[in-house]
Amino acid sequence: MYHASSERYQEMIYQRCGKSGIRLPAVSLGLWHNFGGVDAFEISRAILLRAFDLGVNHFDLANNYGPPPGSAEENFGKMLRDDLASYRDELIISTKAGYLMWDGPYGEWGSRKYLLASLDQSLKRMGLEYVDIFYSHRPDPDTPLEETMGALASAVVQGKALYVGISNYPSELAAEAFRLLRELGTPCLIHQPRYSMFDRWVESDGLLDVLSREGVGCIPFSPLAQGMLTDRYLSGIPSDSRAAKAHGFLQAKALTSARLQQIRQLAEIAGSRAQSLAQMALAWVLRDPRVTTVLIGASSVAQLEQNLGCLGNRKFSDGELDSIEKILSQE
Please report which helix (H) or strand (E) contains residue 190, including its range.
strand 188-192
pLDDT surpasses 60 at 208: yes
Q: One-letter amino acid identity for 175? A: A
pLDDT at 246: 45
Is residue 58 a contact partner of residue 90, using CB atoms and an 8 Å limit?
A: no
Class of domain 14-233+288-300: alpha beta
Is residue 26 a contact partner of residue 289, using CB atoms and an 8 Å limit?
A: no
C-alpha R_g of the chain: 19
At 1-56, the pLDDT tens digits run 999 999 999 999 999 999 999 999 999 999 999 999 999 999 999 999 999 999 99
Cis before 220 (ω within 30) = no
pLDDT at 237: 59
Percent of the chain residues past pLDDT 90, beyond the cut: 90
pLDDT at 331: 66
**CA gap 237, 63 in Å, rounded:** 31
Phi (first) and psi of residue 41, to 5 degrees: -60, -45
pLDDT at 241: 53
At 70-86, the pLDDT tens digits run 999 999 999 999 999 99
Among residues 112, 110, 163, the alpha carbon closest in space to that of 134 is found at 163
Better-scored residue on pLDDT, 260 or 152: 152
Average pLDDT over all residues of the chain: 95
